[in-house]
Chains A and B, each alone.
Chain A
Amino acid sequence: MSGTRESSRWRFLITPKWLGWHALVILSVLGMLWLGNWQLHRAEAGNALSWAYTFEWPLFAIFAVVFWAKTIRDEVHPPAEATPRDAVALPGGIPAPPPGGPRLAGGDGEPGEDDEELAAYNAYLARLTKEVRGHGRWHGLR
């Protein structure tokens, strides 16, 4: 199981959506380097303010590459600190709802002192499932 899983982990990188992101990163990095070069020429021509931008643009280009790499890394290896509980409350990997959906209390007709607790917990589960639905989607941007 782990072998096929390992190789398919990276497969998302060649989906059209991700190829689009790769292209965007490459183009924006080239653009930023070009802008830095342009500012360097302006600075050498005597525009003192351009010296700041001469260093800023390459810095932004480095940021873009680092951020891009980190985003991919997190996508492949989700941070270990994320507990299943976080996974429920957060977008990203939308976990499957509990098997059979939120359990309904009292359905089995077995009386018990924790029925009230169970009902509260089921309501909580139902609320979480409802809140999480649609997370991870960004209107028009993905």
Chain B
Amino acid sequence: MRLNVALYRVMAYVTGVVLIVLCILAIMQIFVNDEAAVNVVGTIHGGLYIVYLLVAFPLTRRLRLTPGPTVAVLLAGTIPVMTFIVERHISHRYIEPAMAGGAAPHPPVPQPRS
């Protein structure tokens, strides 16, 4: 779980940064007619996105996300800036409660009293 979360965070940030670089290059390409950089970074992003999917999907299963959030997490890697937003949301709403639930010791359970 911990490793999966760590890998997911790393991939979310790396994929997100590369995607932003790709967008900047794509905009620059309009003015400078040179496709080489866009092609290289585009291919890198394609490969990173495959890794992102392989890391993010097991995490969505571990967190038992419903289809909506699952699709949002998986597609985030293709929409600029979305990985950062979704990562924050998922961390706050699902990962932190799950980690707290898994790590914290059981509180003393008193016997039911009648």
Residues of A within 8 A of B2 (CB): none
Residues of A within 8 A of B70 (CB): 67, 71
Chain A contact patch, size range: 35 or more
Among B42, B43, B70: residue with most chain A CB under 10 A: B70
Chain B residue with minimal CB distance to A135? B93
- How many angstroms between the C-alpha atoms of A90 and B93 in the bound complex? 9
Give the size of the chain B interface in residues (CB under 8 angstroms).
34
Known: A70-B61, A74-B61, A124-B107. A91 touches B66 (CB 8 A): yes
Binds A, one of B5-13, B20-28, B94-102: B94-102
Among B46, B50, B64, B100, the residue within 8 A (CB) of A82 is B64
- How many angstroms between the C-alpha atoms of A137 and B25 in the bound complex? 37
B residues bordering A, Cβ < 8 Å? 39, 42-43, 46, 50, 53, 57, 61, 63-72, 74, 93-94, 97-98, 100-102, 106-110, 112-114
A residues bordering B, Cβ < 8 Å? 18, 21, 49, 52-53, 56, 59-60, 63, 67, 70-71, 74, 78-79, 82, 85-86, 88-92, 103, 108, 110, 112, 114, 117-118, 120-121, 124, 131, 135-136, 138, 141-142
Q: 26 A-B Cβ contacts within 8 A?
A: A18-B67, A52-B43, A56-B50, A59-B50, A63-B53, A67-B74, A70-B61, A71-B67, A78-B64, A79-B64, A86-B98, A90-B94, A90-B98, A91-B63, A91-B64, A92-B64, A108-B113, A108-B114, A110-B113, A114-B110, A117-B110, A120-B108, A135-B93, A138-B72, A141-B71, A142-B68
